[in-house]
Each structure stands twice: as structure tokens, then as C-alpha cells.
Chains A and B, each alone.
Chain A
Amino acid sequence: MNPSTSTASLLQTLAPIADPVVRLADGALLDYLLIELVPTLADSSSVASARATHTENEMRAAGLLPARSAKDKDKEASDKEEDALRARLEAVGAHVGANLAERLSRDRARFADTLDIIKFICKDVWQAVWAKQIDNLRTNHRGVYVLQDNNFRPLSRISSHEGPQEAARRAKLYVAWSTGLIRGALARMGLQGTVIPEIPSLPQCTFQIKLPKGAS
């Protein structure tokens, strides 16, 4: 067997593994998943926290824990629940973002600098997840980047009978997953930073990325 035919068969055996066929899924599936993700996780975390507060109250009754004033108990509980929910959503998003960055950066050249990484997120990642690119990118060249999306898909269909302000406030939970996505992608590419979402008006959304000193 001369080398050329054996390497041709090498190509045949390895090609399916090396470059697997890209399987596509309907974009609407992601929209539905994100919509349902928030209440589902809220339910499951409320069950978990109800259990925790139940045991806590039992311990209080038994005198093992000091009693807390009733006035700020309720407010604290709901805030804590929302924070826990947001943390879970961000964790899910981080995992997805990291692996997506891994997959999408396969065949491209190496990243020249931090701006290149941010542009990769604005263009390739956003295009893959939401079929559009970031509309506006601003930076102060000192590690702060603001990504603006004028018609953010998860927010495009949110409305509330209590008015647009209330809708914008509730919508914060729905961007938590996307916040995690950006943070996870950045982390996998080597940049540890914070991402803060803001909803000036539905369906517009901005993400503020703060990278530590040392990044250009």
C-alpha cells in the first residue's frame, strides 16, 4: 500500500471526527427555552429556599438561632431568592457561553488583542445565538466596553399590563442568561471580567463589560 492511498483513507476515517457535521436547531427553540427557564428555575429555587427557611425557622423555635426582626424578613427573602435565581441563570449561561466560544473559535486565527475578543463576541457569538450582530460597541480604551443591542431578542416580546417601567424591571431576569453567556465566553477566552446588563427601554439592552487592569 503506497503512502498516498493510506493517507487518503486516513482522511476518510478522520474527517467525520475532525469536522463533524454541524447540526442546526430552530432559533425559536432557544426563545422558548429562555422564556420557560426563568419561571422554572424560580419555582425550583423557591422550593429549595422554602425548605431552607423551614429548617431555619425550626431552629429559631428551638432557640438555636437568634430571632430576627420580622420587618425586614420578607423583603430580604424575596431579594435573596431573586439573587439566587439570577446567579443560577448566569451560571447556566456561562457554561453555554464558554463552550460556544470554544466551538466558534475553532477555525479562525488567533485573537490579536482584547478588542478582537470583544468584536468576536459582538459578531460571531451574537450572530450564532440571535441571528444578528451587536448594533453598537463603545469603549473607553481602559477596559470598559459597552455593547448595545437595539432589538434584543429575548426582550422583544416582553410586555406587562402594569406599564413599560414594570416590564423593564421584570425583564432583568430574562437577560441574566445572556449576561452569563458573555461572561462565560470571556472567561474561556482568558478574560475575567464583570458584565452588567441594563435595560434603558424595551427592547433595547446594553451590556457593560469591565475587564481588569492590564487588558488593553
Chain B
Amino acid sequence: MPPALRINAVAFVSASNAPILVRTFVDGGDDLKYHYLAHTSLDVIEERIAQPKFNECYLGLLFSMEDVAVYGFMTPLKLKIVVALALTDTVVRDADVVLIFKAFHTAYMRSISNPFLRVHASPESSALVDPSPALLTEANADARKVTAFKRRVDDVARSVLGHDNILE
């Protein structure tokens, strides 16, 4: 039975618009495509924020491209989460997507709370500067330290997709 929602990719972007994590869950999928998707969704997000619709964290459907529908979420702390769901014919309920975003946000919060997680220990990230992690792609991350974050993100995606669809 095909599950109702399939997450194709998720991207976390920090307050200064620096990417934190881009994770794809489609085999054969193109990582770069989702990087690009995250980039373009940033523009749409900025546009939506400029409108005086102030009270919502959940930004709804940003846009849809070829085979994915892209949803956005921005926390009061300006962390942006972008989720690409595969287009389906079934009705996608807002409440479900909000739940998915909250789960990703919780995963991010738990990983950020770890004081020993510092991916790019830049010399100026002292106590004054907020030590939020820099880009965590497979290529340039300290693999041991960020696996917990990735694992939590994967857990969220897995529980959405159902056990028969573990994609790595």
C-alpha cells in the first residue's frame, strides 16, 4: 500500500540563510537538485514573510515543481525548514505537514542542545557568536559528530514513509 505522504528531501537553513543540512530520501535522486530547490524556496519564503501575515510559523505550500511539492516553515528564531513532498493525488492535510515540520524542528533542537556539536569550529565562534552548525553535507562534515542529527532526521522521515520504504 503506498503511504499517503512521501518525503523526498528536507533542508534546514539557518537564520543567516546559511544551509545547515540537506538530506534526500530518494534513491537515484540528485542531491544537487534539492540544494537548488532549497535555494529557490528561500526566495519564496522571503516574499511570504514580507506580507503582513505575521502570526504563522507554517508557511504552507511554497511552490511545486516537476514531481515535488515544496512546503516551508519558519520558526520565530528565523530557522527555516523546507520539505519536498512527492506529488500525489491524495489530499495532503495541512495538519500532517505541520506535524512533520514540528518533528524536524524537535530533531534540530535536540542536536543543537549538544554543546559538543560544532561542525565547523571557526576561530571566531566564541561564546559571543551563536555556535549554530555550518553546512553538514556528506563531503565536509565531521561524520561522527553529526550522525546523531542525521539519524534523528532520518527517523522522522522513516516514520512518515513506513517501514517498508527505508531509503538511504
Contact = CB atoms under 8 A, between A and B. Distances in A.
Contacts, number: 90
B160 A17 contact: no
Nearest to A111: B76
Contacts of B55: 109-110
A15 B76 contact: no
A192 B57 CA distance: 23
A109 B136 CA distance: 28
A14 B1 CA distance: 19
A7 interface: yes
A187 B4 contact: no
Give the contact-size bracket for chain A: 35 or more
A129 interface: no
B128 interface: yes
A109 B130 CA distance: 22
B119 interface: no
A14 B128 contact: no
A11 B96 contact: yes
What DSSP secondary structure best describes chain B's contact surface?
loop
Contacts of A187: 128-130
A94 B54 contact: no
B77 A17 contact: no
B127 interface: yes
A15 B99 CA distance: 7
Given A10-B160, A14-B100, A95 B54 contact: no
Contacts of B102: 18-19, 106
A180 B127 contact: yes
Interface of A: 1, 3, 6-7, 10-11, 13-15, 17-20, 87, 90-91, 94-95, 98-99, 101-103, 105-106, 108-112, 180, 184, 187-190, 192
Interface of B: 1, 3-5, 15, 54-57, 74-78, 90-91, 93, 96, 99-100, 102-103, 105-107, 109, 112-113, 115, 127-130, 155-156, 159-160
Given A14-B159, A103-B109, 15 more contacts: A10-B5, A14-B99, A17-B159, A91-B127, A102-B112, A105-B75, A105-B77, A106-B75, A106-B102, A106-B109, A108-B76, A109-B55, A187-B128, A188-B130, A190-B77
